[in-house]
Structure 1
């Protein structure tokens, strides 16, 4: 049985199924870079306050460097029985350098360790997402600029019924505005999580003379967190990020839904690039917008991550509880889902083939200029509500006769109102 750092209290090892159930290595291994970074900074701090010698620090840093090389080369001996990324790295360090490796965890608990790793990971992940968001926003602006001509018009919809004509560029820029707010939400979340939990230990801090400002500064945080209970118990920072991801995915889902609709034969406004579509195993003619459909579906997956983590933390007493192990899997999955969705849309948007004539005909039909006609009558002095009623009667008559609004003559209009 593998040595466990907490095993001294127990007369026997855990049940095999319980050990597998308890392990989180399968998903928290993603935090290895952050954990190594934290270990280096923590070791340097311990040396600064006299808890490690220069020789011990040198051995620890060399061991951590070797472990990083092993992980990057794919030769690191990951062991599920050691539960998580933290214990795997600590155990390997002790194998490499002996007793000095056992001093690294001085004045630290996995409770503040994992909270610190997760905040570090999220800071990097948010920076990556902001770059991906910027790429989509730039693609939207470029497409808007390509379709500025007055003939690049499509129907605007309310209740999914034709309402008024809008420029295609206006459609692109609507999503640009949504994604700009999404970027702002991520920046806000990053600002609030930019505090270091390290030094809170299990929940009550530590009696060792540590320097929390040193570790916070060296890890790139603005400051240490002020309350040790809050530092290890809280996951609102993760929920805030998940909330921003959820809203962002909702916007991508809406865009995907519209593009799916517009690519149908019934609309016929746009064709999805071949590289982002698939065919049918039985129907040779099919071209299915699978990537857009999956973006639409995965919005539900990210929403599920937000709801799931909310359910985990809603009733937890202070401070740390094992329930919080369930924060990482949905969070990491949601981050990857949103990132990949953004990257796919940034690549897909420039390849869309818009059918200008089909859009124009659709925008011209459906009596979409009825509002402008009512406005014209209002400009002539007719109260708008009366103008609205007059035009409504005209539209009903034209519908009954099967005529478009553009066929209406001035004389006909004057028969309804001089």
Structure 2
């Protein structure tokens, strides 16, 4: 428990028997006896990875909570993952995302607790280290339970009768499309269009600013401005600009790895489905 042993143990054989091997089947043993009994890096590193995973889940939860609200109305979460409001009968509370967002603080707290536990200890083993169990085990339980219920909530569960997944998140695509049309989101596309016509970006940027100001004044979208008005901002603008200013045109234009083009999105979905089996 401190400096190794005088008995002729085959530590690598013991490691193999216990399954402590790498991807190539080579035994993995700690090379320093003091380090073996004194550090808790394995617990801290797992907790750090778990905390990071929970932070991402928390951010996704925040999106789902906003998207489910009446102000957005982008999605509906199946009833089994929500509860009715105690005071507003018409309201569904997104319980699972809210609880996951809250439990993220719990897991992050366990990581900070473990680091603080270790920070003042001399080598080698100290009784302080018995305090590593509770935060580590609770982190394991919290992370696995959260991932399990999130997988069910987002993807749904197979219906035994049809074999299709049901009860996950349903998307209100028309509401999302309407939201995407707000805020002159295709203004950058107009600037890119002008750059491709030979205009320096700084000049294109200023030209688009004038076009947006006109659209705001007339309370219309850029794509609703007449061609003559758009040409008044720059003569190189032609009829094909409306393909650029449309929402789908903007999406399709970003046909590059990681981009928003439907083709790229479908490729990413296929890639990750294959990766996850």
TM exceeds 0.5? yes
Could you say which residue in structure 1 is the equivalent of 2:184?
367
- Residue 294 (str. 1) matches residue 94 (str. 2): no
What secondary structure is seen at the aligned counterpart in 2 of 1:271? strand
Distance in 2 between the 1:271 and 1:224 partners?
Answer: 50
Could you say which residue in structure 1 is the equivalent of 2:2?
203
What secondary structure is seen at the aligned counterpart in 1 of 2:14? helix
Distance in 2 between the 1:378 and 1:209 partners?
Answer: 75
Could you say which residue in structure 2 is the equivalent of 1:279?
84
Distance in 1 between the 2:222 and 2:65 partners?
Answer: 29
Distance in 2 between the 1:403 and 1:214 partners?
Answer: 75
Task: Return the match for 2:175 from 358, 375, 383.
Answer: 358
Task: Return the match for 1:218 from 2, 13, 17.
Answer: 17
1:370 offset after TM fit, Å?
Answer: 0.8
**For residues 257-278 of structure 1, what are the alpha-carbon distances to aligned partners after superposition, in whole Å with 9 as ceiling and x for unaligned?**
1111111111111111111001
- Residue 232 (str. 1) matches residue 31 (str. 2): no
Could you say which residue in structure 2 is the equivalent of 1:15?
none
1:344 offset after TM fit, Å?
Answer: 1.0
Distance in 2 between the 1:207 and 1:380 partners?
Answer: 80
1:243 offset after TM fit, Å?
Answer: 1.0
Distance in 1 between the 2:148 and 2:41 partners?
Answer: 27
Q: How does 1:384-395 map to 2 (within 5 A)?
A: 384-395=201-212
TM-score using structure 2 length: 0.75
Higher helix proportion: 1
1:207 offset after TM fit, Å?
Answer: 2.9
What secondary structure is seen at the aligned counterpart in 2 of 1:373? helix
Q: What is the aligned residue count?
A: 217
Distance in 1 between the 2:194 and 2:8 partners?
Answer: 81
Q: How does 1:11-50 map to 2 (within 5 A)?
A: none
- Residue 243 (str. 1) matches residue 48 (str. 2): yes
Greater relative contact order: 1 or 2 (C-alpha under 8 angstroms, separation 6 or more)?
Answer: 1
Unaligned runs of 5+ in 1: 1-201
What secondary structure is seen at the aligned counterpart in 2 of 1:260? helix
Distance in 2 between the 1:243 and 1:269 partners?
Answer: 33
1:282 offset after TM fit, Å?
Answer: 2.2
Could you say which residue in structure 2 is the equivalent of 1:34?
none
Distance in 1 between the 2:121 and 2:219 partners?
Answer: 65
Q: How does 1:60-139 map to 2 (within 5 A)?
A: none
What secondary structure is seen at the aligned counterpart in 2 of 1:220? coil
Distance in 1 between the 2:233 and 2:10 partners?
Answer: 84
Give every structure 1 segment of 4 or more consecutive aligned residues whose post-TM-superposition deviation is greater than 4 Å: none
Distance in 1 between the 2:138 and 2:225 partners?
Answer: 57
Could you say which residue in structure 1 is the equivalent of 2:120?
315
